[in-house]
Structure formats: structure tokens, C-alpha cells
Structure 1
Amino acid sequence: MTNQVRQAERSGMVKAVSVADYIVERLSAEGINHCFGVAGDYVFPICDAVDSSAKVKWIGCANELNASYAADGYARVRGAAMLVTTYGVGELSALNGVMGAKAERSLVFHIVGMPSYQHQRLHKIAHHTLGDGVFGNFVDLSADAACCHAIINPENCVVEMERVIGEARRNNQPAYIAVPSDYALSPVMSADVKPIVPRSNEVALRKAMAIIEERINKAKSVVAFPAFTILRLGLQKQAQKTIEALGCPFATTLMEKCVLDEGHPQFAGMYAGAVSDPKTRQIVEGADLVLDLGGVNFNDITTAAYSAQLDLSRFITVGLGDVRIGDEVIAGVRLADVLSELAKLKPSSAPYRGARQELAPVTGNPSDKITMVALYPRYAAFLRAGDTVVLETGSTSLGMTPTTLPDGLRVEAQVLWGSIGWATPAAFGIALADPGRRTVLITGEGSHQLTANDIGAMGRFGANVIVFVLNNGGYLIERALEENPDWTYNDLAPWNYAELPKALGCADWYTARVTTLGDLDDAMKAARASKTGAYIEIIGGKMDMPPALAFAHSRLREMYGGTP
């Protein structure tokens, strides 16, 4: 792109590249083909640049929060995403989604159109401001939601774009890029800058590998944890080669569901503290050495309310840019390089072979009402290799993640940040990011009501998602954590969910409302056969909860004295 700017300047015959065009085209080189956002006057130049681009398609969302969730989902699959909002009202509406991407290491380039430099310089009183003539009120807020930021002008555009792209890649977290509207239309000043590609320091890498190899050779038992960041960086094959080379068992937490196939012979099961299978718990908590590949997040959710018994002195944690061994941190070491080096090692004994994780049997009679015991095995049986399943925060995640799933799946859930409503727009972004896979959204109606309006965007842009919405009359996750499940604040407006797609412009979608297991089985077959999107409303019991949620209910009440 720098050469394009330079050639335009030299020829004198080609229109110089504008700041807006440069930003859009430079980000397209990062593998981004779609731009999620909501238009606004301050950001019109960026919107125009996207609309004029032959490489990037504008994806208008119902609101900025939905756009940020969709961008998060897209980035999880593509490795990066573009989010465009206007100054103040737009960027602030998107911040929850951007911060969720930061927490769960999803790289979103958040571009904000600011009022013109001229208005800023003259301290004009303008709309979308606090009326005080100050235009930097929101920069710190948006910058804190990202790992790096820049305010772009024609002189620094090339240099600053390379800096923020390099830093965002190094951390795999969002970058905030603000552009005054008049600067966005100005020609870029060229500069000789090479892209910044994060690499390991060779001396640091050799030091880290020497210590890791020594610890592995001394350990009588080793277990690996491939972290969720393996999935974010597209390192699944490398992680699998590493684990196979070491011959050790591996386990996952809720955040890593299906990061590697659960049918792999070295899979030792899902680890969640006290609710783990006893054999899995013994393998993890009894290991001499735990190889944390990518930085597992052991939080209250992934440890079943802090019930894990883990000795961190036995951990070697390979982060995105460093290695931690006890109290020693070796900086300048990249995760991909460590995996590559580990894959060269030879196991000292025969590889671990665990019992294959089988799918739960599908039970129940066609005339039976739908229960959680019968529902989740049906979800597992419905899913196929090549599907991407998106799980909403709440009872859905806690019901689905302990369920053994088929090989070849990709599972996405927002376990750490846990913002309800995330999954519906995220499924939209995921479907656009990889249309070769079928995207399946499994959500509850409480979360779905927050962001259901982007079902319309799915239909508009041909994202043929299969949507399952569990309608159990309110917020089940909240009711499960309450002494009194009948508080009125856990109730919801009684929507006719199965009618939403048609009302939102998806007239050709398959839709159904099911109350029995037979109806559900028929609807699942029809949804799988549908060439467009599909939407199934499932009627469940008000307090019928999956076992993991029931445990969390009792554990949290115990911890917090009945008031979680």
C-alpha cells in the first residue's frame, strides 16, 4: 500500500490515496473481507471507503453493540475483524463488545470517525459531544477497551497503522483507530515502513526450550492444556502435533470446548474442578507437570466456582509472547514457536490412550415434553463435522459444554466476559467469516431478546444460520442462582419467537415452535435440510436446568450465603 501511495505521488496523474481508503485497504490485507458497523456523519468517509472497496463489503448491523459482537465472532474465525462506528454515541455503544473481545483475545480493529480537526481546533459545540467544546472525552474510554490506539492524520497514517496492527497482532486484542472526518478525506503522506511481524527472540526461545525440555524429562507425569488462544490464532494443528509428540494426555476447560477433537485418543476429558470426571481430575491435579499451552483462564466459571485444586508451581505457561516457569518469566517468546519446538520432542514412554468419549444416547418418546435431560443429547446428535456451534452465556453454555460432541466441530462461547446477547450477532459474524461451515446458534430467550434484531441482518446478507431458542419463560440462569426463583425481574416479555424471522425479513427461512420431543426431532431434520436459515423455538420447563447449572446453583449459594 505504501508503494501505491508513492506511485500515485510520482505519476501526478493518479489521485492520491486518502486516509480513509488507505485504512480500509491496509486492513483488507490482514484477511478482512467484511466491515461491521453503523453509519454516522462523522464516519461517512470511512463508510464510503468501504463501500467503494473491491475487497471489503459493508455489513450494516442493527446497532453498534450488535456490530461489535458480530466483529468479535468474525475475528475468532478469520483472525481479525473491522468494526466502524461514529464518534461518542456510536463508539460508546460498541464498547461492551470491544471489551469482551479484549478479555477473550479476539482482534477487532475499531475505527471511529471523529469530528473534523477544524472543529476540534476551534472548540466548536457539536452534536454527539458533551457540549463543552472538548473532543477527547471518549478517547481514553475507547483506548482502554483496546490494547493499543492511534489518532490518525495524513502524516502519521502509514507509520501508526503499522504500529497498531503489529501491537494488536502481538497481543491478539482490539485496536482503537480514531480519524477526524476531514483528515479521513486528505491524501496520505507516504512513508517507508515495513509491516511489524511478531517473532520470537532466538536466545530467549532457546533458553525457554531448554528449561521446558528439562522439566518434561524429569516429570513422571505430564498433562497438557491447549488454551482458547490456540483457537484464536489458528494453531489447532500445531497444538495437536505437539501433544502427539509428547504422548501426554490433554484436558480442556469450558473455554476450550472442542479446541481439539474430543474423540482424540489422548483426550482425558473436560476439567472443571469438583464437577470433573474423577479420572480427569486425578490426571490434571495429580500431574507432576502441567503444560499450559496458550494461557488457560482458570476463572470462577471454568473451575466450577473455584473448586479446582491446582498447584501452580507445577505449571509451565506458554503465553502469546512469553513463557512463565514458576516465578521466572522469559519474554520475547511466541506461542507458535514453542509449539513448533515441542513437536520435535520424542515421548519417553508409550502415548496416553484414554477411553473414547462417546455421545450421550438420545432418549424419550415422541409424545414426551422437552426436558434438558433429553434436549442436550439431541443437540449433540444434530451437530456434524464441519459445523460451528455458537453457545450463549447462561444455561446453554453450562448445559452444552459438559456434553460430548462429535469430532470436526468448532465451538465458540463467551465464557469469561459472559455478556448475555453476545451469541446471536457473534453467530452472524462467524457465518460470514466462514460460509463453508454451517453455523448453529444455541441460545436462551433471555439473551436472545437483547440482540434478536440482527436475525434480520442474517437474512439480508445470506448468513444461513440454524437458530435454536430455548423458551423457558425467563432468565433460567438467574433463577438458578436465587433463593426465590419467582422474582419478577427474571421474567420476560412473552415473544412469539418462531414468528420473528418473517417479521425481520427472513420470509424464506424454515421456522417451527416445538413442545414435544417428536416435534423437535422433525424440526431438526427440516432445519438440517433447509437451504436457507432455520429458526426453532423450543418450549422448556421454567426451572428445568442442566446438571452443571444445578451444581453451580448449590455451589454459589454456599459461597455467597445464598446471595451470589
Structure 2
Amino acid sequence: MDAHASLSVGRYLAHRLLQIGAAHVFGLPGDFNLTLLDEMVAVDGLHWAGSTNELNAAYAADGYARVGRRCGALVTTFGVGELSAVNGIAGSYAEDVPVLHIVGMPSTSARASRTPLHHTFLDGDVDRFVRIAREVAVACEVLRPDDAAQQIDDVVTAMLTHRRPAYLGIPLDLAGWNVDADRLRVPLRAPSSDPAAVDAFRIALRARLATAADLTVLAGARVHRQGLEATVAALADHPGVRIASQTGAKALLDEDHPASLGTYLGAVTRSDETRDAVDDADPLVLIGAVFSDFTTGFFTQRYDAASAIQIDPDSARIAHAVYPGVRMADAVAVLTEETARRGFPPVFDPSRLTSERPGTEAARALGEPLTHAVLWPAVQRWLQPGTTVIAEAGTSFYGAVDLVLPPRSDLLGQPVWSSIGYTLPAALGAALARPEHRPVLFIGDGSAQLTIQELGALLDVDARPVVFVLDNAGYTVERLIQSPDAVYQDIRAWDWEALPPALGARRTATFAATTDAELRDVLAALEHETGPALVRLVLDARDAPRLLLALTAGISATNTH
């Protein structure tokens, strides 16, 4: 750039987004953000991904960040727009997803004069929504003319550092305000590790591994957020290393890798060998793991986390000794180096693990009603390498968790926040982030009705998405927990096959399966389908996958105490 070059705030922000990989921006226009949008979309390489509502925009930005291993971004307008996005942003905060929420706000003068504007409560308080945003953001700023560029950089850096959402309010008059463009020469990055802390961690780790017979790792979703899948895979290539994943990190390591133990979920882990390997590990290494009812099989893990080696985004711990200032990338690199130095002998071949795949369904007469016991083994056989499997909270997610995903595949879900409707817009974000991976969405009919407005956009992307709608006449997961026949468990029946053309996706092939034979025919047809497809799967209202039945029993027990 030329010396002393300047750019508008909107264009400066667009360049910063491109630098951190956020090439698509989701959201909606509103009168307070129009100038900002005009400036942002004028920058080459930044693509506007318009959404049907702000909640869907937040979900789509989240899916884009998760699957793309980058940051997401959305633009909303002040008040009514930003509040609609809050639930989606809260889910990103709960699950460590870096999303920048950019809000077009009233002008600086209107804010200062407390002008009673639309989208307010007419009391002059224009900052109450900023206060709400602070509850679900690691950094929250409203731009000022004297240091707008510095504020942008500070907020983006905080998001990169903590890998959680951040909030940027841009007053209407500042969207076109010129700032120093030379600042863009210096990319924004998370802070580096403290070298002394890294050295201390290395010394302690070497001593701890000296008496170990092998190394077992339980990896969680925070590995994804740091983009360290390749680093963990390099660790897995060393003899004596075994790696299990939590549900939010399923297939973090290809599940056909010799070191893969598959998915660990406490007492409901499909394989006893996997559960024993994790629970009896000495030492157990926790990398980016998170702990909640849904990630531990309702706290049925037997291992003692307090005695483990724990690697988090900004610190490491060996039993009671904590090493603050050690970033996850450096800690995993040290772990890999010390593992190689230690030279563990090979451990057993995980290929002998039993029951690691969905069981083959029992012999049945063709034409029997479709069940989950038939569905998921059929899906297991049908899935191809390089697939992004997106599974909605409830029947879909806990059916997909029991799959063994093919190589180069992901499972996208929301096991901690578990906000129904999340995955349909998130699938759009995933498809834009990694169009070379075919998105395959499994979503229940009740969940899909919450965010169905984004279906047309999802089915119109070039990634050839397939959407399986599990039509089970309502909220099956809630029926399993309590009051299965209550009126509030039912939903209105929709004509699902009519929706794609009605929502603008006119080239979508549609199918339906009510029996095992029809499912077989549909999956065979999909192998030759070159465009998007929607498949309605009719299932009984009380039928559910193995894992969900176990988990809902835990929820029921918890809710009665």
C-alpha cells in the first residue's frame, strides 16, 4: 500500500476479515448498517451471504467457522436485528466458536443526544443491547472516531486469542470514516506462548512420561477451534499412542487410523475396549476436552480428570501443576516431541475393537416400517469419504455419533448448547466453508421447522447437499424424557417434498422412504444424483437410536432429583 493510505472503516474491517479467513459474511440489511454493507461488499474477495433472519445468520456463521477451521462473521442491524442473533451467538460462546458479530448502530451524535429512535425503548438508552452482548462475547466495543482501527484490531485479536465470539458496534456515521490502511500490513494473531512456561512444561512432561507404558489421549472440540487436527494426527502416528474423541470432536482423527479409539461417551460408549482404554489410562492426556452432562454420558466417566495431563487453549496442567501461558499448539508440539523421545512400544491394534460400527440389522421381511435400527447401518454403508455429516440435536445427532465416519469426514453438531434448528443454517455455512466436502444433513421435522427459511439457500449451493428430514411427527427426544402423549409434543405435518421448489431450490431431487426397502432404493438413487436432494424418512414417534435411549434415561433421572 502507498504510504499514509487510508480506507473507510467498512473496507478496513472487510480486509481484516479476509486476513483471518472469513471470506463470507452472513446477515441481513437494516437502515443502520446499509452504509457499512456498501463499504464492506465493495472489497474484492468478500462475499455477502444474505440470510433470511438474524438467528439463521448466526447459526450459519457458526457452522462456517467450525467446519472451515476459521472465524465466522455476521452483520445485523441495531436492536431488533442483533437481539434475534443472540441465541446463535450464545451457542458459539458455549462451544468455543470464534464469530464476529458486527452491528450497524445509530450515529455517534444520535447516541450522544439520546435521541428517541426506532428499534429502541424511547428512553435514550442506546447501550442496553451492548450490555446484553457483553454476556456472550470475549470483547465488545462500539467504535469511536479517534481510534476506530485500533478498536477493530483489539476486538478481532481477542476473538482469535480466546476462540469465542466478539462484538463490534459501528455507528452509522463511522462506517465510511477513513482510518490508516497501513495497519493492515501487520496481520492479527493470537499471542505466543511464554517460552519459560513451555520449557517448564516440557521438563515436567518428560518426567511424567518416563514411567508411562503408553499414551492415551481424549481429544475434544477445542482442538478443532485451534485448527490442530494435523498436529494431533502427527502425534497419533507415533507407536504407543491411542486417541479417542469426545462427541464434539468425532473423527478429529480419521476413524480408520490405527491409533483411533473412536468416540468416548462414558458408560454409553459403544465399545467397552474404548471405554476401558480411556478410563484406565495412565497417563490420560486431555487435549481440548470439555466436560458436561452430554459429553460425559451424564458424568459416567471413570477417569480422574484432576490427575490427568490437560492441554487447554491457553494453559497446560500435569496433575496439580499448572503452566499458564502455554498455548495449545505449543503444548501439543511438546507432547509429540517428548512422545517420540520416550519411544513407546506399539499397543494393541484397535481394529480388533468390537461393536464399533452400527450393528447389522436383523433379518426382516422387505417392506417393514423404517426404524433407527435399520436407518443408521444403511447410512454407514452409504456414506462416502470427504463428507461433512451434519446432525441435529436429538435423534439425528445421537444416531450419527454411533457411525464410523469415512476418511476425511467431519461430524458437525452442537452437543453442549443443543439448540434445535441450529444445523440447517449451519449446514449452509459448512457448505460455503468447505464446498469440496459434500454436506449431508440429518434433521428432525420439529427442528427443521424452526429454521426452514434457509433450506432454499442450502439446497442452492454447489456442494450437492443432501438433506434427510426425520419425519417422526414431533419432538421425539422430549417424548422419551417425559409425557410422550402430551399435546405439546406434536407438530403440524408439512408437505416436505413440496418445500424445495417453494423456497427457490427448483433443481432439487426429492425422495421419501417409509420402509426399509424404500430406504435401500433411495440410497441407491442418491449414489447417482449429481445435484442437491431432500429425503423424507418416516419413523415412529417413539423410535430412537441406541445412544439417545440411554441418554434420555439419564436426563429423566436427573430431572426427577
Q: TM-score, normalised by structure 2?
A: 0.94
What's the counterpart of residue 432 of structure 2? 432
What's the counterpart of residue 319 of structure 1? 312
Indicate if the aligned counterparts of 2:392 and 2:444 stay in contact, CA closer than 8 A.
yes
Indicate if the aligned counterparts of 2:104 and 2:170 stay in contact, CA closer than 8 A.
yes
The percentage of counterpart residues that share the same residue type is 33
What's the counterpart of residue 21 of structure 2? 31
What's the counterpart of residue 452 of structure 2? 452
For the pair 1:56 / 2:46, whether they are aligned, the reply is yes
What's the counterpart of residue 343 of structure 1? 336
How many angstroms apart in 2 are the aligned matches of 1:437 and 1:533? 13
How many angstroms apart in 1 are the aligned matches of 2:50 and 2:28? 6
Once the two structures are superposed, the pairs formed by residues 172-251 of structure 1 within 5 Å of their partners are 172-189=163-180, 194-197=186-189, 198-245=191-238, 247-251=240-244
Q: Per-residue deviation at 1:80?
A: 0.8
**Aligned match of 2:283 in 271, 277, 289?**
289
Question: Structure 1's 496 and 146: CA in aligned 2 closer, same or farther, altered over 3 A?
Answer: same
Secondary structure at 1:84's aligned position in 2? strand
What's the counterpart of residue 12 of structure 1? none
Q: Per-residue deviation at 1:553?
A: 2.8
Once the two structures are superposed, the pairs formed by residues 390-539 of structure 1 within 5 Å of their partners are 390-462=390-462, 464-482=464-482, 484-539=483-538
Deviations 1:500-551 (A, max 9, x none): 1111011110111221222222222333433321100100011111111222
How many angstroms apart in 2 are the aligned matches of 1:462 and 1:48? 26
Question: Structure 1's 49 and 360: CA in aligned 2 closer, same or farther, altered over 3 A?
Answer: farther
Indicate if the aligned counterparts of 2:239 and 2:345 stay in contact, CA closer than 8 A.
no
**Aligned match of 1:330 in 323, 327, 330?**
323
What's the counterpart of residue 270 of structure 1? 263
Question: Structure 1's 115 and 521: CA in aligned 2 closer, same or farther, altered over 3 A?
Answer: same
For the pair 1:354 / 2:354, whether they are aligned, the reply is no
How many angstroms apart in 2 are the aligned matches of 1:178 and 1:528? 47
Question: Structure 1's 31 and 555: CA in aligned 2 closer, same or farther, altered over 3 A?
Answer: closer
What's the counterpart of residue 273 of structure 2? 279
Indicate if the aligned counterparts of 1:288 and 1:314 stay in contact, CA closer than 8 A.
no
What's the counterpart of residue 134 of structure 2? 143
Once the two structures are superposed, the pairs formed by residues 246-261 of structure 1 within 5 Å of their partners are 247-261=240-254
Question: What is the letter of the counterpart of residue 302 of structure 2?
Answer: Q
How many angstroms apart in 1 are the aligned matches of 2:213 and 2:238? 16
Question: Structure 1's 26 and 196: CA in aligned 2 closer, same or farther, altered over 3 A?
Answer: closer
Once the two structures are superposed, the pairs formed by residues 546-561 of structure 1 within 5 Å of their partners are 546-561=545-560
How many angstroms apart in 2 are the aligned matches of 1:463 and 1:140? 39
Question: Structure 1's 371 and 45: CA in aligned 2 closer, same or farther, altered over 3 A?
Answer: same
For the pair 1:155 / 2:151, whether they are aligned, the reply is no
Secondary structure at 1:541's aligned position in 2? coil
Q: Per-residue deviation at 1:360?
A: 4.0
Extract structure 1 runs of 4+ deviating beyond 6 A. Answer: none
How many residues are treated as equivalent by the alignment?
550
Indicate if the aligned counterparts of 1:510 and 1:527 stay in contact, CA closer than 8 A.
no
More displaced stretch, 273-282 vs 205-214: 273-282
Indicate if the aligned counterparts of 2:239 and 2:346 stay in contact, CA closer than 8 A.
no
What's the counterpart of residue 11 of structure 1? none
What's the counterpart of residue 126 of structure 1? 117
Indicate if the aligned counterparts of 1:224 and 1:243 stay in contact, CA closer than 8 A.
no
Question: Structure 1's 58 and 196: CA in aligned 2 closer, same or farther, altered over 3 A?
Answer: closer
Question: Structure 1's 465 and 492: CA in aligned 2 closer, same or farther, altered over 3 A?
Answer: same
Once the two structures are superposed, the pairs formed by residues 83-98 of structure 1 within 5 Å of their partners are 83-98=74-89
Indicate if the aligned counterparts of 2:213 and 2:344 stay in contact, CA closer than 8 A.
no
Secondary structure at 2:100's aligned position in 1? strand
Once the two structures are superposed, the pairs formed by residues 356-371 of structure 1 within 5 Å of their partners are 357=356, 360-361=359-360, 364-371=364-371
Question: What is the letter of the counterpart of residue 344 of structure 2?
Answer: S
Q: Per-residue deviation at 1:192?
A: 5.3
Question: Structure 1's 244 and 73: CA in aligned 2 closer, same or farther, altered over 3 A?
Answer: same
Secondary structure at 2:58's aligned position in 1? helix
Indicate if the aligned counterparts of 1:428 and 1:463 stay in contact, CA closer than 8 A.
no
Question: What is the letter of the counterpart of residue 34 of structure 1?
Answer: H
Secondary structure at 2:62's aligned position in 1? helix
Indicate if the aligned counterparts of 1:359 and 1:405 stay in contact, CA closer than 8 A.
no
How many angstroms apart in 1 are the aligned matches of 2:553 and 2:410? 31
Q: TM-score, normalised by structure 1?
A: 0.93
More displaced stretch, 360-369 vs 282-291: 360-369
Q: Per-residue deviation at 1:365?
A: 5.0
What's the counterpart of residue 36 of structure 2? 46
How many angstroms apart in 2 are the aligned matches of 1:119 and 1:313? 53
Q: Per-residue deviation at 1:424?
A: 0.3
How many angstroms apart in 1 are the aligned matches of 2:461 and 2:110? 37
Q: Per-residue deviation at 1:191?
A: 7.0
More displaced stretch, 319-328 vs 504-513: 319-328
Indicate if the aligned counterparts of 1:19 and 1:154 stay in contact, CA closer than 8 A.
no
Indicate if the aligned counterparts of 1:423 and 1:443 stay in contact, CA closer than 8 A.
yes
Unmatched 5+ stretches in structure 2: none
Question: Structure 1's 55 and 362: CA in aligned 2 closer, same or farther, altered over 3 A?
Answer: farther
Secondary structure at 2:543's aligned position in 1? coil
**Aligned match of 2:101 in 98, 101, 110?**
110
**Aligned match of 1:170 in 150, 156, 161?**
161
Deviations 1:272-325 (A, max 9, x none): 11112322222111122111112x112111222222222123211111111122
Secondary structure at 1:178's aligned position in 2? strand
Secondary structure at 1:416's aligned position in 2? coil
How many angstroms apart in 1 are the aligned matches of 2:90 and 2:306? 31
Question: What is the letter of the counterpart of residue 101 of structure 2?
Answer: H
Question: What is the letter of the counterpart of residue 521 of structure 2?
Answer: D
